[in-house]
Amino acid sequence: MENELPLSATLKIIPLGGLGEIGLNMALFEYGEDIIIVDCGLMFPEPYMLGIDLVIPDISYLRERADMVRGIFLTHGHEDHIGALPYVLPDLNPPIYGTALTLGFVREKLKEYNLDEKVELRVVKPRDKVSLGCFEVEIIRVSHSIVDGSALAIRTPEGVVIHTGDFKLDQTPVDNELTDLATFSRYGEAGVLALMSDSTNVEREGYTLSEKLVGDAFFDIFPRCSGRIIVAAFSSNIHRVQQVVNAAVRSGRKVLLNGRSMLANVQIAREMGYLNIPDGVLIELKELPKLPKEEVCMITTGSQGEPMSALTRIAMDDHKQIKLERGDTVILSSRFIPGNEKTISDLINHLYRRGAEVYYEKVSEVHVSGHASQEELKLMLNIVRPRYFIPVHGEYRHLVKHIQLAQSVGIPSERCILAVNGNIVAFTGGHGEIAGEVESGRVFVDGKGIGDVGEVVLKDRKHLSKDGMVVVIIAINQATGEIIYGPDIVTRGFVFEDESQEYLDETKKVVLDTLSNVNIEVMGDWNEVKQEVRRILRRFFNKTIERRPVILPVIMEI
């Protein structure tokens, strides 16, 4: 149900993703006949999403209002903020606004889908203002774990809404580009209707450490390494790549880049002047055997233990060109993404089996977060001093904790809005409330299929993975109802057929005995025969071995 407030007098903020989850960030602002969108991100599948490649937001609400969408504003270039664009743009194709590196990453992504020449990308700089319909958006510089991060000050007929994007208050950023507290303060002095703030690290006390501490750790570790050094990091973290390069150059090492996204992102960042790599430092894979081990540093993707990544293949001793040897060092310079802990632990164990020394977040300061901790979040609240507060970018507990934090600095509980995906946060005459909801949810991408796999299919996949499948093939004379072939039993993931032939023979006998007592009218209706086979086998399997496989009767009428 959508809200009943007059369309012309209501600002509607509608999150379609990112509230109640990490990833899938997307929110729209609607007033009258104008809509602008903030971010368009994806989420990587959770463990129960068997076979799913990606998850994107459900844009049914926007699809019906495509002619009202004036533009998409991107806060930064991480996948959870830009990754859904190739799947959304065929339905919505407004201009896209973002900082230079953000749009550099977007352009490369759109090339893969042959959309790069069909989409208008408009580069904006910090403190630029863009007017679209009734909205005016100012870009505000913020520090994050990626270059060119930005917050947005969105001026609406109801007042200013500030969306922080992902941020932290790094006082010593690698590129010396500080979070623009002066602009946040300017808006705070003038009056802010609502603040939408990053909740990712709300459970962490104190302040988030500076990115420069990672560089200091590299400078400390590199000179002590006698063999090759392999650093695994996210390819979008250009500051991290820069610090690895700096440490490699200082310790007399050449740098090998590995991984398609690492090569692409480094090339984009170098061309745009965001990454400084001296001439002669980068080498290609074919040069690796010619260099002494103590002169090599490799920067690779695969820090999350992805099965097909180069780092995993190296750890499993399954890489054709790169073999780990005793004395080599591997640095996992990224956080353990929730849900990946076991995979990463297995990766670390395999690296140790190869004889490598391994550094990771739990044992060394080789990674720091890009998100603000409690004291920084409080400072943002106190600088902006919003009338209303809406926590974003976090699981449900993060949103709740962030509201508690906001109340601790003086924002009344009645002005803290705990919204989830699909809620309509409506502002009229300075008053804000949740005033209904729109269709929202998750759309699964499996191969080239978008949205054709739903919860029912996932349930079937889970069922198959747990108890396997039994196919029962029977040929029936259409005229007499007589079984002239079968039943033939084929199983997958249920029992090992070669060692269970006696049990399968008993299964065939159960089917034959059951069908021999069925009247000819039922035998003439193959749907009825299928139901009867399923019913008797479910009972038989549950009683004999307490398993519930997927049962697929195949009836051939002859």
In the annotation, is 371 catalytic?
yes
- Which amino acid is it at 8? S
The whole-angstrom separation of Cα 493 and Cα 550 is 10
Length of the chain: 558
137 φψ region: left (φ > 0), alpha (ψ -120 to 50), beta (else): beta
| Whole-number Å distance between alpha carbons of 285 and 213 | 30
The whole-angstrom separation of Cα 123 and Cα 128 is 10
> In whole angstroms, how far apart are CA 29 and each of 43, 142, 166, 441, 544?
22, 21, 18, 18, 58
Report d(CA 231, CA 117) in Å as an integer. 35
Residues 6 or more apart in contact with residue 513 via CB below 8 angstroms = none
- 328 catalytic residue (yes or no): no
How many angstroms separate the CA atoms of 135 and 36, rounded? 8
Of 195, 122, 158, 123, which is closest to residue 30 (Cα–Cα)? 158
Task: Give the torsion through C-alpha atoms of 401, 406, 408, 413, to 10 deg.
Answer: -90
Contact 423, 390 (CB under 8 A): no
Q: Which residue in the list 371, 393, 398, 402 is annotated as catalytic?
A: 371
Residue among 490, 478, 481, 464 nearest 548 (CA): 464
Tokens of 126: 């910090």
In DSSP notation, 67-121 reads GGEEEEE-S---HHHHTTHHHHTTT----EEE-HHHHHHHHHHHHHTT-TTTS-E
| 6 class by beta-carbon count within 10 Å (0-12 exposed, 13-18 middle, 19+ buried) | exposed
Largest CA distance in the chain: 88
DSSP-derived 3-state class of residue 60: helix
Of 453, 448, 418, nearest to 432 (Cα)?
Answer: 418
Work out the burial of residue 270: count CB atoms within 10 Å of its CB; fewer than 13 is exposed, 13-18 middle, 19 or more buried. Answer: middle
Identified catalytic residue from 39, 166, 180, 198: 198
Cα torsion angle, 197, 76, 125, 244, sign: positive
Residues annotated as catalytic (active site), given as ranges: 198, 371
